[in-house]
Amino acid sequence: MAFKHRFAAALILFLGLCAAISPARAATFTIVGFGDSLMAGYSLGPGQGFTDRLQAALKAKGLDVAVANAGVSGDTSSGGLARLDWSVPDGTRLVILELGANDMLRGVSPEIAEKNLDAMLGKLKQRNIPALLAGMRAAPNLGADYQKVFDAIYPRLAERYGVPLYPFFLDGVAGHPDLQLGDGLHPNPRGVDVMVERILPVVEKAIADNGGPS
């Protein structure tokens, strides 16, 4: 009988520990950075990419978060739409959607990019996964007409879906060679830190608005 009592007590203790541990695990706020090479960390070392640095910055603020890197170098909005469903797992608490730069660099019609981004936001909404839209701006050499149409995509979609907008993902880095790789397009590690610093308040608000780590 003593053995049965000890076994029952041990079982209750074990179940109690599991109950205590499980909520802690479930509390982690999961973010998916979904985008192209700017999100993927093109030519950067381990821990230097945007998602890694964003996770570190949020953790430094005391937030229990995990930021997954779902960036694919060279990806266009069409490629992103094709892989969205399997790249963003169920239970994701926030998606940072960053696509369109490669569409722009290839001179793809802004209407196509907008249609694809619209479809991605629609899919996320259907799955009840909140999004933060990270915008891009057209290069001036594409002409004022293209620039006007392309740049309007992101604020229009953010308003349509009621999602927060970070207007320009490369804010503070574009046009600053000391913060870019030799290609003049991608951020170097210092550039990534600037990007994270500038977008951090927007991400923090999006986390708070969507329940935060519980």
Which residues fall within 8 angstroms of residue 179, CB to CB, at 6 or more apart? 172, 173, 187, 188, 190, 191, 194
Which token pair is 142?
Answer: 């594409």
HSE of 85, CA atoms in CB hemisphere, 13 A? 4
Write out the DSSP string of 77-95.
HHHHHHHHHHHS-TT--EE
The SS3 call for residue 186 is coil
Type of residue found at 36: D
Rounded CA gap, 198 and 186, in Å? 16
Torsion of CA 152, 155, 159, 164, to 10 degrees: 160
Rounded CA gap, 132 and 168, in Å? 12
Type of residue found at 172: G
- What do you get for the CA distance between the two ends of the chain, in Å? 41
Residue numbers annotated as active site: 37, 183, 186
Q: Is the dihedral of CA 209, 164, 105, 84 positive or negative?
A: positive
